[in-house]
Amino acid sequence: MAIIGVSLGMIGAGGSILTVPVLVYFFSLSPFVAQRHAMFVVGACSFISTGPKWAAKEVLPAIALPFSLISGLAIYLVKILIQPHMPTVLGHLGACTIRYEWLSMVVFAVIMIWASNQMILEQQKSTRISNPDAATFRLTLCAAVTGMITGFLGVGGGFLVIPALTLYLGIDIKKAVGTSLLIITINTLIGFGLEASQAEVNWQMLIIFSMIAIAGSFVGNLLAKKVNAASLKKIFGWTVMFLGFMILLGQFIKLFGMG
C-alpha cells in the first residue's frame, strides 16, 4: 500500500491500478469489492497529495473543477442507471464462463495499455489549443469518457486523466499530475459514496490501508521534485503498461484455470 501512495504522490496516478490488483490477488476480494475499497483509499491519498502540489502551484482548479463536475455526473449515471442492470454472466467461451467481473478487469487492463502507449510514443506530441470552443469540447469529451470508465471499473482514472490533460489539452506534465490528483479526489469520493450507500464496507481495512498509502504519498512527492517532466512522463507510461499486461495475463490464467 505504501507503493500506491508513492505512485500517486509522484505521478498523480496509479493508485487504483495498483490497489485493485493487490486487493484481488493478495486479499482474495472480488473485483467489485476491491474496486469499492480502492476508491476510498485512492481518494483519501489523492486528497493529501494534492496539498503539496497546490502549494507549488501545480494544480489548475479552472481545469479540475469542470472536469470533475462532468466526469462526476458520468459516474453517477453509470452507477445508478446502468451498472445495477448489468448481468452477472455475459456468456460462455467453451467450458469457460465469461462474467462481468472478469470482463471489467480485462477492459481495465486493455485501457491501461492503450493509455500508457499514448504517453510513451515519442511521435505523440502534446497539442496546445488556441480555440476556446475546441478546448471546451475536448475537456468535456475527455471528462465524460473518464467518468464513464471510472463508473464501470471503479477506478480513479488518473491513468486516463493525465494523458487527456497532456496530450489533448496541452498541459505540462507537472501541472497535469497536480490537477489529476484533485480530479481523482473528487471522482473517487463520488464513486465511493454511491457504492457505500448500497453495499457493506470494511472500514478497519480502509483506514489502515489509507494511512499506509498516505505515508507513501509524502515519499512520492519528494521523488517527483527530483525528476524532470520528460522522465516523469516515461516512468508513468512504462509503469502503467507493465501493470496492464500483468493484470491481463492474470485474468486469462484465471479464466482457463491454469493457475
Is the separation of the CB atoms in 152 and 83 below 8 Å? Answer: yes
- pLDDT, position 60: 92
- pLDDT, position 216: 74
Q: With 80 as the cut, is the pLDDT of residue 7 above it?
A: no
- pLDDT, position 38: 78
Taking the C-alpha atoms of residue 86 and residue 76, their distance in angstroms, rounded to an integer, is: 15
Neighbouring-strand partners of residue 92: 97
Structural domain containing residue 24: 2-255
Q: How many domains does the chain have?
A: 1
**pLDDT higher at 224 or 207:** 207
**pLDDT higher at 149 or 196:** 149
Q: What is the pLDDT of residues 113-125, one digit of tens each?
A: 887 786 677 444 4
Mean pLDDT along residues 182-191: 82
Taking the C-alpha atoms of residue 67 and residue 187, their distance in angstroms, rounded to an integer, is: 10
**pLDDT higher at 142 or 155:** 142
Percent of the chain with pLDDT over 90: 3
